Amino acid sequence: MDSYRQLAAAQKGRGRGAPAYSLYVNRPVGRILAAWAHTIGLTPNQVTAISAALSIAAIAALAVVPASVWLGVVAWLLLALGYAFDSADGQVARLRGGGSPAGEWLDHVIDSFKNVALPLAVVIGWYRFVALPSMIWLLVPMVMATATTVQFFAMILNDLLRARQGVAQAVEMGGSSVTRSLLGLPTDYGVVCLSFLLWGFEGAFVVVFTLLTLAEVGYLCLALPTWFGRMKQL
């Protein structure tokens, strides 16, 4: 309980427009996991390793196990827990007095792996186990993999270049707009994880995943010119 109270009083600032699931669900769950991990003596890197193991297990299962309702539930649970532990590693680092460049590097490498591997697991699962009306639908998760990778790299590069110029990251210590958070839900990794509850309902999942992909592409088309404009101002 002491660890949990310390974390509640030392949360990092909210990113401007952070999606609602990440903000209101994943971070609080991660806080509970971080308090537990700190209590039993886990290091931030060990928490990151747990996050990676859970995510990899889900991604592998989607690629090699025939699609079913129960697999969708298991995949969602593993992905959601992996995402929560991904939030917990940084919180454990704060409890221990701060993180390290190596820990931050490891966290970002795992995140970049998930951005590519999860949509590609969908490609494999659809190709092997789902009766798609046309193979052209396999392009949908490929587009998702491309869009999420570009977004992640651009966001990391934004922070890197801003820091190099001595410009603080854009955070809102008092909280982000609820409206902006809700509008960002379709691009939230947690919502993508949640969509796998439909993995056993093939037609519904194809529709929902396609809509999430369109939302991700739409967000990226709006964000990239804005970010480029900010880089020109540095």
**Is the alpha carbon torsion for 133, 134, 136, 138 positive or negative?**
positive
Residue 149 lies in a domain: yes
* Single pTM value for the model: 0.88
- Check residue 158 and give its pLDDT: 92
Name the nearest CA neighbour of 17 among 150, 165, 187: 187
Q: Which domain holds residue 62?
A: 13-233
Residue 6 lies in a domain: no
**Residue 58 — pLDDT band, cuts 50, 70, 90?**
very high
The CATH code of the domain that includes 60 is 1.20.120.1760
Residue 170 lies in a domain: yes
pLDDT in tens, 183-204: 777 889 999 999 999 999 999 9
Residue 4 lies in a domain: no
Report how far residue 141's alpha carbon sits from residue 56's, in angstroms, rounded to the nearest whole number. 17
Residue 3 lies in a domain: no
Surface-to-core class of residue 136, CB atoms within 10 Å of its CB (0-12 exposed, 13-18 middle, 19+ buried):
exposed
Tokens of 83: 């995402």
User: What's the whole-number average pLDDT of the chain?
Assistant: 88
Q: List, as one string, the DSSP characters of 61-104.
A: HHHHS---HHHHHHHHHHHHHHHHHHHHHHHHHHHTT---HHHH
- Least confident residue range of 17-21, 187-191, 218-222: 17-21
Surface-to-core class of residue 216, CB atoms within 10 Å of its CB (0-12 exposed, 13-18 middle, 19+ buried):
buried
- Check residue 147 and give its pLDDT: 96
Contacts of 64 (CB under 8 A, 6+ apart): 124
Residue 40 lies in a domain: yes
More confident site: 169 or 232: 232
pLDDT for 10 beyond 60: no
Helix, strand or coil for residue 199?
coil
Total domains in the fold of the chain:
1
Residue 8 lies in a domain: no
Mean pLDDT across 118-128? 97
pLDDT for 174 beyond 50: no
More confident site: 234 or 56: 56
Residue 5 lies in a domain: no
Percent share of the chain, pLDDT over 90: 72
Cα angle 159, 164, 167; round to 5:
65
* E strand residue ranges, the chain: 14-15, 171-172
